[in-house]
Amino acid sequence: MYLKKLELYGFKSFADKVSLNFEKGITAIVGPNGSGKSNISDAIRLVLGEQSIKSLRGSKLEDVIFAGSETRKPLGFCEINLTLDNSDGLLPFDYNEVVITRKIFRSGESEFFINKTPCRLKDVHELFLDTGIGKEGYSVIGQGKIDEILSAKPEERRLILEEAIGISKYRYKKEEAERKLVSAEENLIRLNDIVVELE
Ligand code: ATP
């Protein structure tokens, strides 16, 4: 699996639709200061489900929508499409390509799509669990992240290793099952109360 294409519309400095094709292997993005290099990695993080505004260098999510210029009006929404090559079948789809889409509106709301089918943020997160990609996948290492990893507490460093060796999916599923168990127990208590009232 590898990143094949990134399409942006109305995202930060990219007001017009732009399409970037990545080949297998290493791609370097070069350009003058302020030309939008980091905006490209911000777009990849956002489409993979990043919710932290701080890591996107803004104060609110809407800040990622093209804010207008002397000659152009601001836009009402932005759209990011990330195409992944899935010919090795790592993602659970029978397609050779998987397209993840995120639309962000001025209201601060987001819409997510996998292969053009609307989905939840949770579905995007779950899709990438343990693939090494994803918002916590360490495939995008931001400025300062290496320092953060080196100075992390042992428990925090353990979480990083767990993601790398593929345990985090099971931890996530265990936590989800525990949440469901708690909610089932609460329902049972409520049901018992009703039965007692009726008797
Ligand atoms: P450097 O090499 O200095 O790190 P860079 O190439 O990584 O720079 P970015 O940080 O990606 O550059 O891009 C910053 C540019 O994006 C700035 O010119 C900024 O005005 C523009 N920009 C950021 N958000 C928006 C927005 N919402 N609308 C329009 N332009 C934006």
Residue ranges for the known binding site for ATP are 32-39
Query: Residue 134 — pLDDT band, cuts 50, 70, 90?
Result: low
Q: What local confidence, expressed as pLDDT, does residue 136 receive?
A: 62
Q: Comparing 50 with 139, which gets the higher pLDDT? A: 50
pLDDT, tens digit, for every residue of 101-111?
Answer: 999 999 999 99
ipTM associated with this complex: 0.94
Question: Angle 58-12-45 (CA atoms, 0-180°, nearest 5)?
Answer: 70
According to DSSP, the residues that pair with 114 across neighbouring strands are 100, 117
Strand partners, 6: 20, 82
Helical (H) or strand (E) element with 104: strand 97-105
So what's the pLDDT on residue 97?
95
Mean pLDDT, rounded, for 74-92: 94
The residue-averaged pLDDT of 126-135 equals 74
Q: What angle, rounded to 10 degrees, do the helices at 168-198 and 154-165 form? A: 100
Which atom number of ligand 1 is nearest to the Cα of residue 58?
24
Q: Among 8, 9, 11, 13, name the best residue to mutate to test ligand 1's pocket (greatest count of ligand atoms within 8 A of Cβ).
A: 13
Token pair of 31 as six digits: 């350009």
Provide φ and ψ at 187, rounded to 5°: -65, -40
Q: Please compute the mean of the pLDDT values over residues 140-157 and round it to a whole number.
A: 81
Q: What is the pLDDT of residues 36-57, one digit of tens each?
A: 999 999 999 899 988 777 667 7
